[in-house]
Structure 1
């Protein structure tokens, strides 16, 4: 079975973030912006550790009433945020994708 991967990127403002992509290349989780690449790498480690745990996900509603989910660390800090979905059911499918791909050890550094 194909598994997803992480991509570390540098934003225009010089900060770092990562995306978890499914095996089809679709972004399934996006991180916050970090001051250093090492912090982004620590965020990836946290995703790898917490992704398999159903209790670490929370489905929320956007200001436009669209569902999305967040993945939280054990200290309740948000590690990553999903895209907006058309239904809670679709958001649940997104969670399943993160549980499946979030333990990937394929980390691609695109900051060069």
Structure 2
């Protein structure tokens, strides 16, 4: 699995679990390739009225689902944070 971190090292998003390091690296590359594109974000609302987004690849596959946000403004701030931080160059492997 991998975590996408904000500039302050707060976890923005945690990926699904992967069976191999290669699969994990492909997930990271997919975030880098798609996170800067507004069109890749599907903005949704949960049954209890909270907001969340799904980042999708060019073929529509789910790359990641966000946490829940109480407001539409929070949702947009979450998207902007992933757009800004998803292009990071640093990848650190941890045990």
Larger RCO: Structure 1 or Structure 2 (Cα < 8 Å, ≥ 6 residues apart)? Answer: 1
Please confirm whether the aligned pair reaches a TM-score higher than 0.5, indicating the same fold.
Answer: yes
Aligned length: 95
Runs (4+) off by over 4 Å: none
The structure that is helix-richer by fraction is 2
Unaligned runs of 5+ in 1: 1-16
The structure that is strand-richer by fraction is 1
1:10-35, Cα deviation, whole Å (9 max, x unpaired) = xxxxxxx1110101122222222221
1:50-109, Cα deviation, whole Å (9 max, x unpaired) = 011000001122343311111110011111121111111111111011111101111111
Task: Give RMSD over aligned pairs.
Answer: 1.2
Unaligned runs of 5+ in 2: none
TM-score between the two structures when normalised by the length of structure 2: 0.90
